[in-house]
């Protein structure tokens, strides 16, 4: 089965006339024990200077003593980077290839990076790396975003571990127009369901400019994840690369047009050019705000659903909006890419 014959891969195939890129995800062990943040900044500077002009878009993630690299670009440039430059970088060693494919570009910006506050050891993280490498060697792989998520933020619910694809779970983003209500909602849901809140930090071409928190829970018999996104992180390159994996995005409007319009404008910018876009679930104080937000969404060809009339701090009402949508959603889609590996 190839990308253009697999129904769940159609959005990731290059359209007629669109430039095709090669995509590779690798994981390697970090040689450094301190100063990771400063070194990642140095790597960013080098990448923007040398790789971006070659058409390379790169994600660098650090967690538990491991680096994860997601690289996209012209085949010659990608292979030169992976075969000649990366192996000689003293900051890491023992790279393992976890995904290879060709198609449309999934990373919208030349550089993104993230750090996780996970406290697990390099051994446990490495077990996930080896499991993915083994799957690839058997001819089975997952989308680049799924590989990164499986490594850095795997679904931990016990109910999901018995599924054929533990990565097949509903993902729902949430962001508030003003204040921290989206993050408060994640905390409220964690307390309600007995879950744990996980934290992430993201950065783009300049500095660390976005944070994210999430909680996992069960609904309608399926594992789910609610991810709170900071407003300034909506248009972050890595966040945009994950948006096609999120079928739904809750938007909490405060009733002040300046802030509400700005949030919708950020969402429109974040979705621009994406192959798949989430359905927007609006929660607003009044019908007039819903109408204005719906008009803005429709003008950008985004689907907007009136989720309810409530204040952005009404966690009970927001939860009901989420449940209604999840209960209608049915089974989550698989993340498996049944794609043959490319020859070296």
Q: 35-44, 45-54, 118-127, 264-273 — which is least confidently predicted? A: 35-44
> What's the mean pLDDT in 115-133?
90
Q: Which CATH architecture has domain 3-154?
A: 2-Layer Sandwich (3.30)
Q: Which two tokens stand for residue 331?
A: 């089974």
Mean pLDDT of 178-190: 97
Predicted model pTM = 0.88
126: tokens are 């490495």
Where b means 16+ CB within 10 Å and e means fewer, 276-293 reads: ebbbbbbbbbeeebbebb
- What is the pLDDT at residue 2? 32
Q: What is the pLDDT of residue 13?
A: 80
* pLDDT tier, 184 (very low <50, low <70, confident <90, very high otherwise): very high
- Which pLDDT tens digit goes with each residue over 48-63? 899 899 999 999 999 9
Query: Could you give the 3-state DSSP secondary structure of residue 69?
Result: strand
Name the DSSP letter for residue 164: S
Give the end-to-end CA distance of the chain in Å, rounded to a whole number.
Answer: 20
- Give me the sign of the Cα torsion angle 105, 107, 108, 110: negative
**Topology adopted by domain 160-329:** Rossmann fold (3.40.50)
The pLDDT of residue 337: 67
Q: To the nearest whole percent, how much of the chain has pLDDT over 90? A: 59
> Would you state the structure tokens that stand for residue 141, as one six-digit string?
């792989």
Instruction: Give yes or no on whether 3-154 and 160-329 have one common fold.
Output: no
Beta strands in the chain (DSSP E): 21-30, 57-63, 66-73, 92-103, 111-116, 141-142, 170-176, 198-203, 208-219, 222-229, 248-252, 279-284, 304-309, 336-337
- Is residue 315 pLDDT above 90, yes or no? yes
Rg of the chain over CA atoms, in angstroms?
Answer: 20
Cβ neighbours, 10 Å, residue 176:
25
Q: If pLDDT is split at 50, 70 and 90, which confidence band does 1 have? A: very low
Domain ranges of the chain: 3-154, 160-329
Q: What is the pLDDT of residue 10?
A: 47
């Amino acid at each position: 089965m190839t990308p253009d014959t697999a129904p769940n891969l159609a959005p990731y195939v290059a359209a007629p006339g669109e430039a095709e890129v090669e995509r590779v995800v690798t994981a390697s062990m970090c040689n450094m024990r301190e100063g990771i943040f400063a070194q990642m900044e140095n790597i960013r500077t080098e990448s923007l200077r040398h790789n971006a002009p070659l058409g390379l878009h790169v994600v660098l993630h650090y967690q538990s003593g491991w680096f994860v690299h997601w690289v996209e670009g012209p085949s010659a440039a990608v292979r030169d980077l992976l075969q000649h430059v990366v192996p000689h970088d003293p900051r890491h060693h023992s790279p393992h290839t976890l995904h290879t494919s060709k198609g449309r570009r999934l990373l919208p910006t030349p550089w993104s990076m993230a750090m996780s506050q996970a406290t697990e050891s390099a051994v446990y993280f490495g077990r996930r790396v080896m499991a993915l490498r083994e799957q690839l060697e058997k001819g089975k792989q997952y989308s680049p975003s799924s590989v990164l998520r499986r490594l850095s933020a795997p679904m931990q619910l016990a109910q999901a571990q018995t599924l054929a694809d533990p990565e097949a779970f509903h993902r729902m983003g949430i962001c508030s127009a003003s204040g921290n209500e989206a993050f408060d909602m994640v905390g409220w849901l964690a307390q309600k369901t007995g879950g744990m809140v996980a934290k992430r930090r993201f950065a783009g071409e300049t500095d660390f400019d976005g944070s994210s928190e999430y909680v996992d829970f069960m609904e309608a018999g399926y594992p789910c994840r609610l991810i709170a996104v900071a407003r300034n992180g909506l248009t972050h390159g890595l966040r945009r690369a994950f948006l096609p994996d999120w079928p739904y995005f809750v938007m909490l409007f405060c009733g002040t047009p300046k802030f509400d319009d700005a949030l919708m404008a950020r969402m429109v910018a974040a979705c621009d050019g994406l192959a798949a876009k989430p359905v927007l679930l609006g929660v607003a104080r009044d019908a007039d705000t819903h109408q204005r937000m719906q008009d803005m969404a429709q003008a950008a060809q985004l689907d907007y659903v009136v989720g309810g009339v409530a204040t952005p701090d009404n966690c009970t009402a927001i939860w009901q909006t989420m449940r209604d949508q999840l209960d209608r959603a049915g089974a989550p889609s698989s993340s498996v890419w049944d794609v043959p590996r490319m020859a070296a």
